Structure 1
Amino acid sequence: MTTLVLTVIGDDRSGLVADLSEIIANHGGNWATSEMAQLGGKFAGIVLVDVADDKADGLTTALESNQLAITVQRGVTTTIPSTSRLTIDFVGTDRPGIVRQITDVISSAGASIETLSSDVVEAPMAGGNLFTATATVLLDDAEADGLQAKLEDLADELMVEFTFGR
């Protein structure tokens, strides 16, 4: 079995995911895991596909000849060794550099970001914009409390509110 990691970018349109899944299915591929979004009129996604070794080249060729910008990488999926998964929700006044400052703290604590989803929304009643995000990070149990404390220390400086879940 071959594992393919597909990154997909293109103009958003109705049926795009259905067309992609049809190509994968027609070549005996199994759509395992994916994250996809429509942003600014574009479609972007990442898909993990398992396919029989003897069908991987045909699937790769079919995907690359599609009208989407698709990058195919072969490889075995690996996970970062960890014993904890920490969910971090944050909301604060939008400004340049907010993601960099928060991710610097996460990285310096030895954690790895598994998922990050963010948005900028209009602030109710206050005017301006709010930056909202949810991150899931992987880290050792011993590092979880330290990371939480470091982010709480940063909260006042950034004017960000953090909520943590395990």
Structure 2
Amino acid sequence: MDHLVISFVGKDQPGIVDKLSGIIQQHQGNWQNSSLHHLTGTFAGVIEVSASSEHIEALNQALQALQELQVQTQITTPADSGEQAAVTLELTANDRQGIVQDISSVIHQQGGNLIKLVSKQGAAPHTGQTMFNAKAQIAVNQTQLDTLISALENLADDLMVDISQ
């Protein structure tokens, strides 16, 4: 099985997921993983689809022909994760410019690989101050996990790091 990673963005309108899933099914693809979001009047997402090599190119062409979405695709094969463990971290801090760059830099410097990052801004319950909240899935060698968490916590006095499952 080959895999097709699809990223897309377009004006939000009803039926986008239905249209994408219909094209995938029509070409015997299997929707594996996805992250889809409404962002300021647009709809954007990333989808991983598996399909046999005899159907993958036709699927790719059908997706590229969509007029209402900007679509990019990449045919790939699943990677071997090796000795690295996937860890989910919940990060909370006062929001500030550059916080994502600071966090991603520490993860990289400590030998981690950022697999998934979902972040949002929100108001703190009692003060109303703008807070940064993120859930990050990271692949890291288990022996480096404590060092990684310490390095993240040392970024700022207000950064809290929790390991979740």
For normalisation by structure 2, the TM-score amounts to 0.91
Q: Distance in 1 between matches of 2:137 and 2:163?
A: 10
- Mark the CA change 1:79 to 1:117 in structure 2 (over 3 Å): closer, same or farther: farther
Q: Which residue of 2 aligns with 1:5?
A: 5
Q: Deviations over 1:65-116 (max 9, x none)?
A: 1121111111112144333222211111111011111111111100001111
Aligned-CA RMSD value: 1.5
Task: String of CA shifts for 1:136-156, please: whole Å, max 9, x gaps.
Answer: 111111100111121222241
Q: Contact conserved, 1:155 with 1:162, CA < 8 A, in 2? A: no
What is the percent sequence identity of the aligned residues?
32
Unpaired stretches in structure 1, ≥5 consecutive residues: none
Q: Which residue of 1 aligns with 2:160?
A: 161
Aligned to 2:14: 14
Contact 1:82 1:138 in 2 (8 A): no
Amino acid corresponding to residue 29 of structure 1 in structure 2: G
- Count of aligned positions: 164
* Unaligned residue ranges in structure 2 (runs of 5+): none
Match of 1:107 in 2: 108
TM-score when normalising by structure 1: 0.91
Separation in structure 1 between the aligned mates of residue 74 and residue 121 of structure 2, nearest angstrom: 31
Deviations 1:14-36 (A, max 9, x none): 11101100011111111111111
Q: Which residue of 1 aligns with 2:77?
A: 76
Mapped partners of 1:60, 1:33: distance in 2: 17
